[in-house]
Structure 1
């Protein structure tokens, strides 16, 4: 199944990815033509109501991966490895990754570059497909000093390119860029041999991902934040506003990604 997706990307077809956390939406998204369902640790924010992703557990990820797999067993499912589940020990990382695969994931996503390359290599060598997540990495939000664009300087852009190339050499199948200048993400995409997915990284990536609740315009921050005080991220777009139905909003998103009309410059850095 993953090979079919990679073949599409190799032929130049844009990849449309959305986050998904339950069976009902999994079925709806699959029928609307979404290529990849990301069981993201973003569920910590949009499902559990937390301020970030740091408290999401392996049990949370296993549970939601199982739900999504029940709704869309014929669609590629990517699952995030949550904070603390892979960074400190390769053997533990493999055990946790294999558990997510057993729950229904076809590929797992890990955050970080340089120091995570050997972990990625170990997972791949043991039969686990991996997507590397570079740029802004939500699990490192405290270390990064908040939600900040990454790769803005020539030095940091070169480091990101080197990290992406190292991850590809380690055997990852995909690379995801979050909150990276569009020109940087496009340049790296042209210089590595695997598909790239962007979120706030411009239209030059091989595909795009959005958080489902952002696509529907229903996320307004944590419970203690007044909706009018919440500011949606620059890369988000409410597709439901003009669509008239949830199903049509998802179809419109898929079509926009495939046509290259989303994201626009206003969604990028």
Structure 2
């Protein structure tokens, strides 16, 4: 039985917007051609996240990711999934001003086949989003728990616990939508608040750690497939025991080498 969706078709911004209230969207991260090729006919869109430096470089946060890294990995992802709708995270420090943001977003567009960029921030970044979308850059917003704010916020904190914060999150979503974002990621927010955010905007809201009340979900692939086993966030469901499966396979390879059962005669030239 095939695991590929028979109804899969490449997403466009128009299709993404039309999915609001009609279809749950699936987003997954990828950082290379190998895995993007595996995901390309299944996920609605692929995010080249700055999470790569946490998942694969062993860093404590996302802040060390550079524009050059994001461009390199976006190119790899686009090579593996040339027909996919690929979104690139704009890394920390690359959109402090609207002029800087546009210059760096243009580099991403010119040097990769990314379909859009993602920007963290609410009302405080609405003018940045507006400047990008006014200059033909497609933007995904990101509000709630924002990894690039981890040091200034003093850690990863769930949002929406107070009435004031709930109201601010709604203002953030509306501001980002009005600035031209075609989609908004909402991370680490109480589910009842995420539901209110989802209802207050006309663009799709993609949740992560925000309950099942949003228009779709996004997960880091190494979390959901169990390859990153040092820490499991509460909101992650592991669909594969990846780390142990790999360890078992490599252990079997070592044993086969040591007992000379690999390579066999069939594996010789």
User: Which residue number in structure 2 is paired with residue 98 of structure 1?
Assistant: 106
1:140 pairs with one of 149, 152, 158: 149
Higher normalized contact order (CA 8 Å, seq sep 6+, divided by chain length): 1
In structure 1, the gaps of 5 or more residues are: 221-229, 247-269
Do the aligned residues in 2 keep the contact of 1:86 with 1:92 (CA within 8 Å)? yes
Asked whether 1:110 is paired with 2:119, we answer yes
* Separation (CA, whole Å) in 2 of partners of 1:5 and 1:214: 28
How far residue 5 of structure 1 moved from its aligned partner, in angstroms, is: 3.5
* Separation (CA, whole Å) in 2 of partners of 1:11 and 1:146: 33
How far residue 36 of structure 1 moved from its aligned partner, in angstroms, is: 0.8
1:95-128 deviation line (CA, Å, top 9, x unaligned): 1112222312111111111210000000000000
How far residue 11 of structure 1 moved from its aligned partner, in angstroms, is: 5.7
How far residue 2 of structure 1 moved from its aligned partner, in angstroms, is: 2.2
TM-score between both structures, scaled by the size of structure 1? 0.83
* Separation (CA, whole Å) in 2 of partners of 1:8 and 1:69: 24
Q: Secondary structure at the match of 1:45?
A: helix
Q: Secondary structure at the match of 2:194?
A: helix
Do the aligned residues in 2 keep the contact of 1:5 with 1:35 (CA within 8 Å)? no
Residue-pair matches, total? 234
Q: Which consecutive segments of 4 or more residues in structure 1 shift more than 2 A?
A: 1-5
How far residue 92 of structure 1 moved from its aligned partner, in angstroms, is: 1.3
Asked whether 1:197 is paired with 2:216, we answer no
* Separation (CA, whole Å) in 2 of partners of 1:185 and 1:96: 30
Rg larger in structure: 2
In structure 2, the gaps of 5 or more residues are: 1-10, 247-269
Do the aligned residues in 1 keep the contact of 2:28 with 2:47 (CA within 8 Å)? yes
* Separation (CA, whole Å) in 1 of partners of 2:69 and 2:36: 17
1:206 pairs with one of 215, 237, 252: 215
CA RMSD of aligned residues (A): 1.8
* Separation (CA, whole Å) in 2 of partners of 1:8 and 1:73: 23
1:25-47 deviation line (CA, Å, top 9, x unaligned): 1110013x111100000001112
Asked whether 1:76 is paired with 2:85, we answer yes
Which is helix-richer, 1 or 2? 1
